[in-house]
Amino acid sequence: MNLLSGAKILLECLVRENVDCIFGYPGGVTLPLYDALYDHPIRHVLVRHEQNAAFAAQGYARSTGRVGVCCATSGPGATNLVTGLVDAMMDSIPIVALTGQVTTKLMGTDAFQEADTFGITRSATKHNFLVKNIADLPQIIHEAFYIAASGRPGPVLVDVTKDVFQGQAPYTPVTEIHLPGYKVYSEGHAGQIRRAAQMIWEAERPFIYGGGGLIAANASEEFREFVETTDTPTVCTLMGLGAISSEHPNFISMPGMHGSYAANMAFSHTDLIVALGVRFDDRVTGRLAAFAPHAKVIHVDVDPAEIGKNRHADLPIVGNLKRVLPKLTAEIRDLAPSMKAKNAGARQAWWKQVREWKAEHPLVAETSDTEIKPQHLMAEIDRLSGGHAIVTSDVGQHQMWSAQLIRFNEPRLWINSGGLGSMGFGLPAAIGAQFAYPEKLVFSIVGDGGFQMSIPELATIANHKLPIKIIVMNNGYLGMVRQWQELFFNNRLSSVALTSFPDVEKLAGAYGFTGRTVESVREMPKALADAVAEPGPYLLNVKVTPFENVFPMVPAGGALNEMVLRPPQPVEA
């Protein structure tokens, strides 16, 4: 019988899962795997830190909807993955992390580079496995992919001992996954769906609250049809941007802490929230007790644990949005002849009100003739993107301005760390996305803080000549923390000034590509256009006004209708 090494069996399983690219970093116990990769068609991308392998795998997964794969050695390699795993867990991103573990007989002896990866990553993953027997390997790898991608997606880790990589066994392809304890609910309850349609028609001020679950379910088309059939004002969360085009007439904006006035006022006045693939996150709801006080809630989610977790659902539907939404839309259409006229007047008045709120305080980019406002930078990037570029962001003020001001006319273009808010995410995520879409325009918008967490990955970018446009929104501070210190700690700016930022021309030059700093507002549009025109990578350091704050803002613990709309204006003498 033909025998294969565990390493080769693992790669064979990855081929069967259509994996074309792994982001990773080698080490002692993964040597047999890397030896098998040496002349294998699956591409291994050597990142410069394991955390970035997990972020790059996420960039790949978030931009394609496929499972991203990362790999690390035992001990420090595996522990370096943890932030990326928790990040994927918080945002429901399907990745499979492969880690090496010391030889089975050394486990528990404090062997060199031994860490309890299985224990450490238990709460950081949707599921994790430890493989100590080569005979289990194929089944486990396919189960890992199935669990990562199905139901509510998430990260799955497979820890493989060195003796399993090195062992020899016959390989029989796995044809069936049978996980009796793991239930995926997809269809939604027909009676509940019908009831939901009725509630939607009965509402006078309905409001659609769409989230990342719509994107995870690839349900954008179904979502658009639902929105148009009900003709309801719609917001998308930070994770849901692009689920419906930013230019769709029903789309209001992002809601929440830095959401628009219209979005937050609508939450405060609606009588029915249709919550689709969302989790009533505190950054959306503000003070939960004061959130949407007049609203009933229909909550559709694939994960039953989300329903009623933060906000009671008057009507729960557990199911996959791609399956549930068409049924809901069909029920809405069915009921239209008998229900349409009932609240038509009230609904018209509601739309009028929402449009007025939108017109009263629109999200517009401030500009100046003398300096570069960060909002102006985002407006220029938006112009170049036209709603079609992939934009990855890091975490901080630049992330919020990007979300407010850049259009996303399709899903999977806006890639950011929503739930965990991990600085250092943006640049490696762009690497993953650019590998997935070599021809696409990819902007990576980062703060001067987060950028400095990602500098090692400039080597990966240079190595593969990835044409990523790295835009550093350089305000000289850990901007978002400075904003909070200014607003809530008497402007006592403690450890937030970022002095000693590197000369980007020299920095990018050291890696063999172009870097440039732009300080003049007149030159900024052309500098961005030049970056886009460059065939290879480009590092553009944009010096923006340092003390700008992100508004609107709902102070932490505040209710949505207590949002602060703009900075206090100087009092005229």
Ligand X SMILES: Cc1ncc(C[n+]2csc(CCOP(=O)(O)OP(=O)(O)O)c2C)c(N)n1
The rounded radius of gyration (Å) of the Cα atoms in the chain is 25
Catalytic residue among 8, 23, 50, 375: 50
Q: How far is the CB of 480 from ligand X (least distance, A)?
A: 4
Provide, rounded to whole angstroms, the least separation between the CB of residue 504 and ligand X. 14
Does 162 participate in catalysis according to the annotation?
yes
Query: Which residue, 75 or 450, has its beta carbon nearer to ligand X?
Result: 450
Maximum distance among all alpha carbons in the chain?
Answer: 92
Dump the DSSP string for 177-235. ---TT-----B--HHHHHHHHHHHHH-SSEEEEE-HHHHHTT-HHHHHHHHHHHT--EE
Q: Yes or no: say if 132 and 106 are a contact pair by the CB < 8 Å rule.
A: no
**How many other CB atoms are there within 10 angstroms of residue 190's CB atom?**
10
Q: Based on CB atoms, which residue is closest to ligand X, 126 or 398?
A: 398
The residue among 234 and 474 lying less far from ligand X, judged by its C-beta, is 474
Choose between 259 and 449: whose C-beta lies nearer to ligand X.
449
Q: Which two tokens stand for residue 426?
A: 């943006």
Which structure tokens are listed for 260?
């628009």
Six-digit token pair at 103? 């030889």
User: Which DSSP category does 161 fall into?
Assistant: E
Instruction: Using the minimum distance from each CB to ligand X, give the nearer residue, 421 or 525.
Output: 421
Minimal distance, residue 464 CB to ligand X, in Å: 24
Q: In the complex, what is the shortest distance from the CB of residue 417 to ligand X, in angstroms, rounded to a whole number?
A: 8
Catalytic residue from among 12, 17, 107, 113: 113
State the DSSP H helix or E strand holding residue 518, giving kind and residue range, or none if neither: strand 514-518
Q: And the tokens for 555?
A: 């102070």
Q: Is 340 a catalytic residue?
A: no
In the block, tokens 């085009």 appear at 245
Closer Cβ to ligand X, 147 or 395, answer by number = 395
Of the two residues 350 and 401, which places its CB atom closer to ligand X in the complex? 401
Token pair 């508004």 in the structure block, residue: 551
- Is residue 325 within 8 A of residue 244, CB to CB? The reply is no
Query: 3-state SS string over 427-486?
Result: HHHHHHHHHHCCCCCEEEEEEHHHHHHHHHHHHHHHHCCCCCEEEEEECCECHHHHHHHH
Q: Least distance in Å: CB of 485 to ligand X?
A: 11
- The dihedrals phi and psi of 295, each to the nearest 5 degrees, come to -100, 140
CA 472 to CA 480: how far, in whole Å?
15
In 3D space, the residue among 136, 127, 143 whose CA is nearest the CA of residue 178 turns out to be 143
Our CB check for ligand X shows the closer of 351 and 484 to be 484
Binding region for ligand X (CB under 6 A): 394-398, 421-424, 447-450, 473, 475, 477-481
Query: Closest approach of Cβ 97 to ligand X, in Å?
Result: 19
Q: For residue 187, give the nearest of 217, 209, 207 by alpha carbon.
A: 217
Residue 11 — left, alpha, or beta (φ > 0 → left; ψ -120 to 50 → alpha)?
alpha
Among 257, 453, 473, 480, the active-site one is 480
Cis peptide before 552 (omega within 30 of 0): yes
Return the number of the residue (188 or 424) whose C-beta is nearest ligand X: 424
Catalytic residue, candidates 112, 221, 348, 352: 112
112 has catalytic annotation: yes
Residue type, 67: V
Q: CA-CA distances (angstroms) from residue 303 to 91, 151, 184?
A: 13, 7, 8
Which pair of tokens denotes residue 7? 């390493």
Bridge partners, 297 (sequence order):
273
CB of 419 to ligand X, least distance (A): 11
Closest residue to ligand X: CB criterion: 447
Residue 113 annotated as catalytic: yes
Classify strands 234-236 and 206-210 as parallel, antiparallel or unpaired.
Answer: parallel
* Nearer Cβ to ligand X (234/399): 399
d(CA 89, CA 81): 12
The CB-of-564 to ligand X minimum distance in angstroms stands at 18
Q: How far is the CB of 17 from ligand X (least distance, A)?
A: 31
Q: Among 101, 143, 145, 162, which one carries the catalytic annotation?
A: 162
Q: Is 526 noted as a catalytic residue in this protein?
A: no
Q: How far is the CB of 478 from ligand X (least distance, A)?
A: 4
| Residue 408: closest CA among 62, 40, 36 | 62
Q: Tell me which residues are annotated as active site.
A: 50, 112-113, 162, 480
